[in-house]
Amino acid sequence: MESVRCGVIGLGRLGTRHAENLAAAVPHAQLVAVSDSQPGVLGAFTAAHPTVKGYLDYHTLLADDDVDAVVIASSTHMHATMATEAIEAGKAIFCEKPISIDLDKTIEVQQLLRAKPTLFQLGFMRRFDPAYLNAKGQIEAGTVGRAISLRSISRDPGAPPIEFAKASGGLVVDLSIHDIDLARWFAHSEVSEVYAKGSSIRYPELAQIGDIDHVEAILTFENGFVASLEGSRNSQYGYDVRTEVVCTDGALFIGELERPHLSTWTREGLGRSTIQGFLERFEDAYLGEMNAFVQAIRTGLQPAVTVDDGVQAQLVATAINRSMRCGAPIRMSDILEEGW
Ligand SMILES: NC(=O)c1ccc[n+]([C@@H]2O[C@H](COP(=O)([O-])OP(=O)(O)OC[C@H]3O[C@@H](n4cnc5c(N)ncnc54)[C@H](O)[C@@H]3O)[C@@H](O)[C@H]2O)c1
Q: Could you identify the atom of ligand 1 that is nearest to the CA of residue 125?
A: 1
Domain co-membership, 244 together with 134: yes
Q: Are strands 4-9 and 69-72 parallel, antiparallel or unpaired?
A: parallel
What percentage of the chain exceeds 70 in pLDDT?
100
Q: Give the pLDDT score at 2.
A: 83
Residue 304 lies in a domain: no
Q: How many beta carbons lie within 10 A of that of residue 228, not counting itself?
A: 16
- Provide the pLDDT confidence category of residue 142 given band limits of 50, 70 and 90: very high
Q: Give the pLDDT score at 339.
A: 85
Provide the CATH number for the domain around residue 251: 3.30.360.10
Residue 300 lies in a domain: no
Domain co-membership, 111 together with 149: no
**Spatial distance between the Cα atoms of 113 and 90, rounded to a whole number of angstroms:** 11
DSSP 96: P
User: How would DSSP label each residue in 129-145?
Assistant: SHHHHHHHHHHHHTTT-
* Ligand 1, atom 20: closest residue by C-alpha: 12
**Spatial distance between the Cα atoms of 119 and 114, rounded to a whole number of angstroms:** 11
Domain co-membership, 249 together with 189: yes
- pLDDT of 1 above 80: no
- pLDDT of 260 above 90: no
Domain co-membership, 80 together with 143: no
**Spatial distance between the Cα atoms of 197 and 315, rounded to a whole number of angstroms:** 17
pLDDT tens-digit series, residues 42-88: 999 999 999 999 999 999 999 999 999 999 999 999 999 999 999 99
Provide the CATH number for the domain around residue 84: 3.40.50.720
Residue 45 lies in a domain: yes
Of 67, 91, 118, the residue that ends a domain is 118
Domain co-membership, 107 together with 134: no
Of 85, 118, 151, the residue that ends a domain is 118
Residue 218 lies in a domain: yes
Residues with CB under 6 A from ligand 1: 9-15, 35-38, 41, 58, 73-76, 78, 96-97, 123, 125, 164, 174, 278, 282
Of 118, 144, 160, the residue that ends a domain is 118
Domain co-membership, 183 together with 139: yes
Helix (H) or strand (E) holding 244: strand 240-247
- pLDDT of 194 above 80: yes
Q: Could you identify the atom of ligand 1 that is nearest to the CA of residue 282?
A: 3
Domain co-membership, 213 together with 140: yes
Q: Give the pLDDT score at 340.
A: 85
Domain co-membership, 58 together with 76: yes
Q: How many beta carbons lie within 10 A of that of residue 258, not counting itself?
A: 12
Residue 299 lies in a domain: no
Domain assignment of residue 113, given as a range: 4-118
Q: Give the pLDDT score at 261.
A: 83
Q: Give the pLDDT score at 262.
A: 85
Q: Are strands 269-274 and 214-221 parallel, antiparallel or unpaired?
A: unpaired
Query: What's the gap between Cα 167 and its chain centre?
Result: 15
Residue 286 lies in a domain: no
Long-range contacts of the stretch 137-145 (C-beta < 8 A, 24+): 138/252, 139/186, 139/245, 139/247, 139/252, 143/249, 143/250, 144/247, 144/248, 144/249, 144/250, 144/251, 144/252, 145/247, 145/248, 145/249, 145/250
Cβ–Cβ < 8 Å for 142, 49:
no
Domain co-membership, 131 together with 17: no
* Number of domains observed in the structure of the chain: 2
pLDDT tens-digit series, residues 84-121: 999 999 999 999 999 999 999 999 999 999 999 999 99
Residue 265 lies in a domain: yes
Domain co-membership, 112 together with 177: no
pLDDT, mean over the chain: 96
How many residues appear in the chain? 340
Q: Which of 42, 75, 127 to mutate to test ligand 1, by most ligand atoms within 8 A of the CB atom?
A: 75
Domain co-membership, 74 together with 176: no
- Provide the pLDDT confidence category of residue 206 given band limits of 50, 70 and 90: very high
Domain co-membership, 272 together with 131: yes
How far is the centre of ligand 1, averaged over its atoms, from the C-alpha of 327 (Å)? Answer: 32
